[in-house]
Copies of this chain bind each other. A is one copy, B any other.
Amino acid sequence: MHSRPRDDDPRLGDLSEGEILRAILNRTARGAHTVIGPGDDAAVIAAPSGSVVATTDTLVHGPDFRMAWSSGFDLGWKSAAVNLADIAAMGARPTALLVALAVPRDLRLSFVESLADGFREACAALAPGCAVVGGDLTVSDVLTVAVTALGDLEGRQAVTRSGARVGDVVAVAGELGHAALGLSVLFGRFRDGDTPVPIDRAALGAGERAALDAQLRPSPPIGLGPFAAIAGATAMMDISDGLALDARRLAAASEVTIALDGGALGENVERALGGGEDHALLATFPPGIPPAGFRAIGEVVARGEDALLVDGAPVEASGWDPYRDWDSASG
């Protein structure tokens, strides 16, 4: 069909949409819930509960990732993980992903193939049975990955942010502040002026490498979402913008105050409170010891002047607001 020369790793602009889609689909697993997969006008996914949980989250080159720092695999993995976490935070089991890719014409095919691998492996590792069931491919000067995740409640009620009750224990599953530490490693160690430069992992200690992985390839505890729901979680959300900001949101939705125990937040309390992108699960449970996988970090108290207290005192709001914090000109 195509008379142009083909090198081993062509640019996307030299391929047809069909060629690129075939390369992606060759690397896409079939999900356990997939009734009709990619290739038709739309996919069909089992929703045995009679409802479907749905969320969408986008990663844009610049504010959300840099190609100097993230491989295609990293980007696919992270794009999957952050969306799976939102499904898990409702107490649902992820069933399917849809991926809308907007790609520059000079991007290499191998990058997109690795991206597809990242999606597949993140599903296999974090949410077995879930798979990419559909997508869209378009051209853009800015590499953009918009993902929609679907999930099933398996007959349970959704666990919203608004169900926390006074006396509940506040608990968390997953890391706090590790992804933020990873970001600070990237910004502090792998820039030339404002320009990101490739990561030299050999130059890093084990802690820094782990933090980097938490930033570039996060592993939120997806299975603990449905587990928490079964265990009676009264409210739940994933921590995407930092514990302080997200705990405030949960407190506001539930019309309570969340009183955290600073001693339960690890060595660097400020980073645990302010650091986003770990996608840990924040949940409240009836009084007592939280279920396995969760650790108690505080208590729900009656709504006071402040929605969030740490060791009894109010804390400054902090967290990540892309509209305020990102400036494309300064890297």
* Cβ contact within 8 Å between A160 and B50: no
Query: Interface size (A, Cβ < 8 Å)?
Result: 75
In the complex the two chains form, what is the Cα distance from A99 to B152 in whole Å? 20
Among the 9-residue stretches A10-18, A164-172, A292-300, A308-316, the one with 4 or more Cβ atoms under 8 Å from chain B is A10-18
A28 within 8 A of B: no
Q: Can you name the residue of chain B whose Cβ is closest to the Cβ of A160? A: B40
Q: How far is it, in angstroms, between the C-alpha of A279 and the C-alpha of B268 when the chains are bound?
A: 55
- Choose among B35, B90, B142 the residue that contacts A41 (Cβ–Cβ < 8 A): B90
Task: Check A140 for interface membership: any CB of B closer than 8 A.
Answer: yes
Q: Contacting A86 at CB < 8 Å: which of B42, B62, B92, B133?
A: B42
Instruction: Identify which of A53-61, A110-118, A203-211 touches chain B.
Output: A53-61
Structural contact, A55 and B42, CB atoms closer than 8 A: yes
- Give the complex CA separation of A102 and B149 in angstroms: 18
Per-residue contact bits, chain A 84-100, to B (CB 8 Å; 1 contact, 0 not) = 01110110100010111
A55 with B98, Cβ < 8 A, contacts A17-B323, A322-B17, A326-B139 known? yes
Residues of chain A touching chain B, judged by Cβ–Cβ distance below 8 Å, are: 12-13, 15-17, 20, 35-36, 39-60, 62-64, 85-87, 89-90, 92, 96, 98-100, 102, 105, 133-136, 138-142, 144, 146, 148-151, 153, 158, 160-162, 236-238, 253, 321-324, 326, 328
